[in-house]
Amino acid sequence: MNPHSVRPEVAALMDLTPEVAAALQAGNPVVALESTIISHGMPYPQNVEMARGVEQIVRDNGATPATIAVLGGRLKVGLTPDELELLATDKSVQKISTRDLPVTVALGQHGATTVASTMRIASLAGIRVFATGGTGGVHRGAGDTMDISADLLELARTEVCVVSAGVKSILDIGLTLEVLETQGIPAITLGSNEFPAFYSRRSGFASPLTVQNEAEAARVLYAKWSLGLGGGVMLANPVPAEAEIPAEEMAGQIEQALSDMNALGLTGKDTTPYLLGRIVEITGGRSLETNIALVRHNAAVAARVAVEYAKLG
């Protein structure tokens, strides 16, 4: 099925599930979900349980979930239960960002999409709201490594609202906020004047912008795109208080994970998956519970933003 908004040359490479195609066709709210978090962000079986649970939360809040990946070179918008299981278990599934997309498609490979590549596919399908855990950002030591997540560049150019729990504290949050400002990306925190730090509600950095509820967030999206200001919006949703790990407790554990990573000499796309996995080990599984809780919370917020945005269109 091919909603009118999808260009024919894109439609030829894309498979929408009937549920997603029908929702888009009708102008009903749809929320995109990424797949790197499934394949490279969490261990099995928590990853597939999280993925199924998050889809249900989107439905419970009035929107249609569209988990995105590339399978056998096809852009998948909406996945079957078997496809979710494959992403959660198959070691041949690579982590793919925007730069990887043409190769994965052309060579018929499997790819789990990051925030950046999920945004791009969502936008090609006509989806405007997307929920994840945390977005990528400027890595610590980026002055030497130049490791800045492609997520930030995609936010600068693709018209999708990304709902996350802020920027992972394994990153340099201050530098990330600087790049967001330079790129003209609104970094907006829901219900707080402080920018959140993924596992923790507080980062020590003031949030550049704030909205109080999902209806306000939807109005911001409508205003931005009506004005012809292209690009995305980072909507930061602090982790629920009962699930957070306070920043003071995380600090030492993150330092430990970073020093273990440096000892292994890991760089590039392998750093984020390694750090998330190592922090699960160091915290004895507690960070995984936090990660799952914050993704679920983001899915509910994203669904409500999509519902409010659909009312404006």
The residues annotated as belonging to the active site are 34, 168
Asked whether position 269 contacts ligand PSU by CB under 6 A, the answer is: yes
Nearer to Mn ion, 76 or 168 (CB): 168
| Separation of alpha carbons 93 and 212, rounded Å | 39
Nearer to ligand PSU, 34 or 244 (CB): 34
Is 151 annotated as a binding-site member? yes
| Separation of alpha carbons 290 and 230, rounded Å | 33
Nearer to ligand PSU, 17 or 291 (CB): 291
Asked whether position 232 contacts ligand PSU by CB under 6 A, the answer is: no
Residues 6+ apart with CB under 8 A from 276: 41, 42, 168, 170, 287, 291
| Separation of alpha carbons 160 and 130, rounded Å | 7
**Residue in 46, 67, 104, 149 binding ligand PSU, rule: CB under 6 A:** 149
CB-based contact 104:94 (threshold 8 Å): yes
Q: Which of 245, 235, 248 is nearest to 207 (CA)?
A: 235
Q: Which residue is nearest to ligand PSU (CB)?
A: 133
| Separation of alpha carbons 158 and 176, rounded Å | 18
| Separation of alpha carbons 250 and 19, rounded Å | 40
Shortest reach from residue 120's CB to Mn ion, in Å: 17
| Residue 151 partner contact from ligand PSU, Mn ion, none using kind-dependent CB cut-offs of 5 to 8 Å | ligand PSU
> 41: which DSSP letter?
S
Asked whether position 151 contacts ligand PSU by CB under 6 A, the answer is: yes
Asked whether position 114 contacts ligand PSU by CB under 6 A, the answer is: yes
Nearer to ligand PSU, 197 or 307 (CB): 197
Pairing of strands 64-71, 74-77: antiparallel
Contacts with ligand PSU, residue ranges (CB under 6 A): 34, 36-37, 40-41, 114-115, 132-134, 136, 149-151, 269, 272, 276, 291, 295
